[in-house]
Amino acid sequence: MFKLERRPTPSQRWAYMTPLLAVVATMIAGGFLFALLGKNPFEAIRTIFWDPLFGEHAFYYRPQLLVKGGPLILIAIGLSLGFRAGIWNIGAEGQYIIGAICGAGAGLAFYPLQAWYIFPIMILAGAVGGILWAMIPAILKVRFGTNEILVSLMLVYVAEQLLASMSLGLLRNPEGHGFPGSRNLKEYASAHNAEIITGSGMHWGIVVAFIAVIFAYILLNRHMLGFHIKLTGQAPRAARFAGVNPSRLILICLGASGMLAGLAGMFEVSGPAGQISIDFNTGYGFTAIIVAFLGRLHPVGILMAGLLMALTYIGGEIAQGQLGLPAAAIQLFQGMLLFFLLAVDLLTNFQIRLTKREAA
């Protein structure tokens, strides 16, 4: 018989192995999924993971790794700070949307003025929008003890309704002949988050994402606040005895994750997306949860996991176009990563023992 036995201490070896095993398991299970859909599983896996990097048109797809990975990394870094402390912000998608609305609104308020200070104002507006939206579950939890998971998640749907309202109303392009959506920020130079190096995919959102990785690493390893975050997640009672203020920590962690999600939304709407529209949100806020856990809540791990998830986005789009795979199958394939990660992660805290069956 098999028996799960708790380890005296979590296995560091398994902690680092589980993301790799989860990726391999996802490829195998994904292959079976694609085979059930009547597609060649080896061709599908190759298209998703190989073609964007080394395929015939890789020169075009490689810069998209940064474009797709930037917002995922930025949001996941913010989420990881709260997750480490046991503060579960599941509503980053809503904060991402509000940051985009506030950033785009701030830029369009100056239209058609051309000035250097417009883009910095948009950055500030996006960050503040994300923080304010994250403060709703934070304050409700601190003041009334509500569950931040439910509140932050429900606020995503409120944000989506606000997005639709803004696309059809206040931010709708007056020269758009009645079509929903704002002006195209790519055509408004002062509000456009253009590539820093043409053809590289590198824009200011990517730069901020890399800065966030470095800052989070320093915070968690060299600052007292980072120590409090880790201590609260690992030993809440010890943290209270050490003088950690749980209410303050909730406000800081949710505020930080909201700020980074809001910035991701602002950089996306002013860059790759270009405008506020009804279908602006593409699920980055939810996918970033997978990225955070796949990266083991470690800044460097999140950087690598964000690029890997970006690869599945790009490869998935190629597979849809070339192999005719449905978008839902690609989304399921991405979701398998988290499923297998959580399943295999069991071996970090438990070990499998073979035991003899007892006689009746």
CATH number (domain holding residue 75): 1.10.3470
Number of independent structural domains in the chain: 1
Q: Is residue 75 part of a domain?
A: yes
Residue range 272-288: average pLDDT?
A: 91
Peptide bond into 112 cis (omega under 30): yes
Residue 5's DSSP bridge partners are: 351
Q: Is residue 347 part of a domain?
A: no
Whether residue 161 is contained in a domain is answered as: yes
Asked whether residue 112 is assigned to any structural domain, the reply reads yes
Place of tokens 């998971």: 149
- Is 338 among the domain residues? no
Instruction: Domain of residue 148: give its range.
Output: 69-323
Greater confidence (281 vs 163) lies with: 163
Between CA 161 and CA 270 the distance in angstroms is 20
CB-based contacts of 77, cutoff 8 Å, min separation 6: 209, 212, 213, 216, 260, 299, 302
Residue range 230-270, pLDDT digits in tens? 999 888 888 888 888 999 999 999 999 999 999 999 999 99
Least confident of 54-58, 152-156, 294-298: 54-58
> Residue 14's pLDDT is what?
84
Mean pLDDT, residues 32-60: 91
pTM as predicted: 0.93
Residue 102: which of 171, 205, 158, 156 has the closest Cα?
A: 171
Residue 9 pLDDT class (50, 70, 90 cuts)? confident
**Where do runs of H (alpha helix) occur along 109-245?**
118-144, 148-168, 204-222, 224-234, 236-241
| pLDDT at residue 358 in the model | 59
Task: Kindly state whether residue 61 falls inside one of the protein's structural domains.
Answer: no
Is residue 152, in this structure, part of any structural domain at all? yes
Q: For 183-237, what is each residue's pLDDT tens digit?
A: 999 999 999 999 998 888 899 999 999 999 999 999 999 999 999 999 998 888 8
Q: Confirm whether 271 is domain-assigned.
A: yes
Distance in angstroms (rounded) separating the CA atoms of residues 307 and 20:
14
